Amino acid sequence: MFRIALIAAAAAAALTAAPARALDVQSFSKEVSPCADFYDYVNGPWLASTQLPADQTRIGSFDALRVANDRLLANALAELVKKPDLQTSPGLRQVAAYFASGMDRAAIEAGGLKPVKPLLDRVASLKTTDDLPAVLAELGRVQIAAPVGTYVRPDPKNTTVQVLNLTQSGLGLPDRDDYFKDTDLAKRLRAAYRQYAERLLKASGADASSDTLDALMAFEARLADATMPRAAMRDPLAVYNPMSPAELAEKAPGLDWQAWLKALTLNGKRTDGVDRVIVGQPAFLKRVAELAASTPVSTWKTYLRMRVLDNSAARLPAVYADAAFDYYDKTITGLEQHKPREQEVIMMIGGRTGGAPLGLALGELFVARAFSPEAQRRATLLIDDVKAAMREKIQNVAWMSEQTKVRALEKLAAMQPKIGAPTTWPQYEGLRLDPKDFAGNQLKASAWAFQEQLKDLDRPSDRTRWTMSPYIVNAQAGGLNEITFPAGILQPPFFDAKADDAVNYGGIGMVIGHEITHHFDDRGRQFDSGGSLNDWWTPADAEAYKANADRVVALYESYEPVPGTHINGRLTLGENISDMAGMPIAFDALQNALKRTGQRDKVDGFTPEQRFFLSNALVWRNKTREAALLNQLRTDPHSPGKYRVVATMSNMPEFAQAFSCKAGDAMVAPKPIRVW
């Protein structure tokens, strides 16, 4: 996924401006050579003169696009609320009610804990651990992963069918290691989380004594101890453990898994649970069962109450919302004050990637106002060009055998692009949201979405479904050998239907190359043309690929964005490979486009090749609070923006040629890494 790891806002003046449609050539450094540090050459003066607003953790040149998208949505939502006759579809009606409830702070305060009281009462009703399966299932049905997360997706080894997946979840600290490390940061995070738990429990009228909090922290530490590290989870075989409920009970004794599955999956058609599940982390489920058998009910009640409150805190009265802000935003990311309320509400409705239950309803509203047929046409041409460039890369790669090349080309040909928006929108049958019940709406939407997932268990996989909303400034490589480019990112500075090819290929072209490469990165390469987990590589080719990947790991681990903290080369490997291959692929696609158009004129004194690289470096212009950067380095599979520029370009001879860089320059790698 090409997740924008830089989401933030520009300084106040920039936030109100439309996204720039031309390269900001006047902002380039007069003191730094492009061959010494291309990121600083393009972005150094901006970094030196830009201050972080108090309500942002990161700011970047492209963020005006996200802000513009949010502003468009906020205005459109406010209009929907005022003019019900504009609510012409089920999705628009539901999202209007949801937005209204989020903006009505008086109703939120008046409602108190009423939206979550049924769940809190259910947790309080626990008498023995024999009651756990039913209570855990009730939380799971509103998608509170406490402590096991569940979702229905196509079976990774047979994507024509869908299956229930069980995965580790339910930790309050950002990373498993935060429960054990002796660093100042880990200690600070543990103290902040403990205080957060104390505030939520006290506000809700529950016991928050030192002994209770000690037990809570010890319980979560036991879960963390069995939690698979993030980097290890990137191995698709390691997290693919199919088993029957009986096998799960045998491997993880201590909890009645069959009773839990029956209660979890109960709907109109399904009353007997499921015959098969895929367990992501067997050791974690074994630990959950051990804790079910050995932990006092009182501790389970504290833990589950905390998970319910944490899940809804940002949507509850200020005493809860402020506690959540202080922990998640102030402590973890360094934020100083709230973002504008409408931005917060849109984020809570749609989620980070628009995958929340009402995310597509926001997308329906956005696309009607912000995506033209011309943008669709030109984006399609860009994708075709980048795919053609990838085809040439595969055909000409020296280390791959002809046998594996044939399979790779089959996979590329079968790759399904999704551009702009889906052709149909969800109808939200059975969902009725209340314009006066923000936290209750979240739970209603989550329950509705989970029931929709349960229906998928009886249906074939839908390869037309969108899991990312069109308003999002993002793109992704989906699990069914698909690539998705929402309308939200097909706008300046990534893409401008009126801009020259060099700017577009350096922006959205690189994004396209990045997403295509994800299906050929260290993880994605293990899936075949249908998206199924299937080893189609010869052993020699796989070994050659691994050798190149190891060089990528070593390169990124040499970077130290914060003194004492390096990039985690294994955690970020897939994203780094996709950057390092996506850029050359997009560059080759630009060359093919230039041959087609014959347009090679300089613009602002720069050649098309130079503008390609300048465009990409401007996309990654950003300034980040140290707390947010540290959290990114520990938990995010994406490298910070600067290194997405210098690592990729310094390993491209095409960059050195474009800017006349010489051997020995910092932006010229002695032995360039080429994965593809």
Distance CA 512, CA 504 (A): 11
Check pLDDT > 90 for residue 145: yes
Average pLDDT over residues 564-577: 97
Instruction: Categorize the per-residue pLDDT at 2 as very low, low, confident or very high, splitting at 50, 70 and 90.
Output: low
In 400-537, which residue ranges form alpha helices assigned H by DSSP? 402-414, 438-456, 501-504, 510-518
Closest CA to 219 of 192, 187, 202, 197: 197
Residue-wise pLDDT for 508-546, tens only, equals: 999 999 999 999 999 999 999 999 999 999 999 999 999
Nearest to 569 by CA among 583, 552, 547: 552
Calculate the alpha carbon distances from 555 to 184, 551, 569, 655 in Å: 27, 6, 8, 18
Angle, helices 341-350 vs 63-82, to 10°: value is 90
The predicted structure's pLDDT at residue 242: 98
Q: Is the bond into 493 cis (omega within 30 degrees of 0)? A: yes
How far are the Cα atoms of 169, 334, 567, 569 from residue 634, in angstroms, in the given order?
17, 15, 8, 11
Mean pLDDT of 352-372: 93
What residues are paired with 243 via a beta bridge?
Answer: 277
What's the CATH number where 239 sits?
A: 1.10.1380.10
Whether residue 308 lies inside any domain: the answer is yes
**Token duo for residue 483:** 């690539």
pLDDT per position as a tens digit, 391-413: 999 999 999 999 999 999 999 99
Task: Dump pLDDT digits (tens) for 218-271.
Answer: 999 999 999 999 999 999 999 999 999 999 999 999 999 999 999 999 987 777
Domain count, the chain: 1
Q: Average pLDDT in the 53-70 region? A: 86
**Distance between CA atoms of residues 129 and 293, nearest Å:** 7
pLDDT score recorded for residue 1? 65
200-221 per-position pLDDT tens digit: 999 999 999 999 999 999 999 9
Residue 266, domain member (yes or no): yes
* Mean pLDDT of all residues belonging to the chain: 94
How large is the average pLDDT for residues 111-138?
Answer: 97
What pLDDT sits at residue 22? 59
Q: In whole angstroms, what is the distance from residue 433 CA to residue 14 CA? A: 35
Mean pLDDT for 421-431 is 96
| pLDDT 10s digits, 571-592 | 999 999 999 999 999 999 999 9
Q: What residues make up the domain containing 216? A: 113-315
Q: Is residue 595 in a domain?
A: no
Taken in order 660, 664, 665, 668, the sign of the CA dihedral is positive
Residue 675 lies in a domain: no
pTM greater than 0.85: yes
Assess whether pLDDT exceeds 50 at residue 9.
no
Q: E strand or H helix at 485, and its extent?
A: strand 482-486
Mean pLDDT for the stretch of residues 185-208:
98
Mean pLDDT of 612-637: 95
Would you state the pLDDT for residue 10? Answer: 31
> What confidence tier does 496 reach under pLDDT thresholds 50, 70, 90?
confident
Flag whether 192 is in a domain.
yes
Of 149, 242, 143, nearest in space to 452 by CA: 143
What is the average pLDDT across 148-168?
96
- Taking 80 as the threshold, does the pLDDT of residue 356 lie above it? yes
Mean per-residue pLDDT for 489-493? 87
Q: Choose between 14 and 424: higher pLDDT.
A: 424
- Flag whether 525 is in a domain: no
Residue 210 belongs to a domain:
yes
Within a domain: 37: no
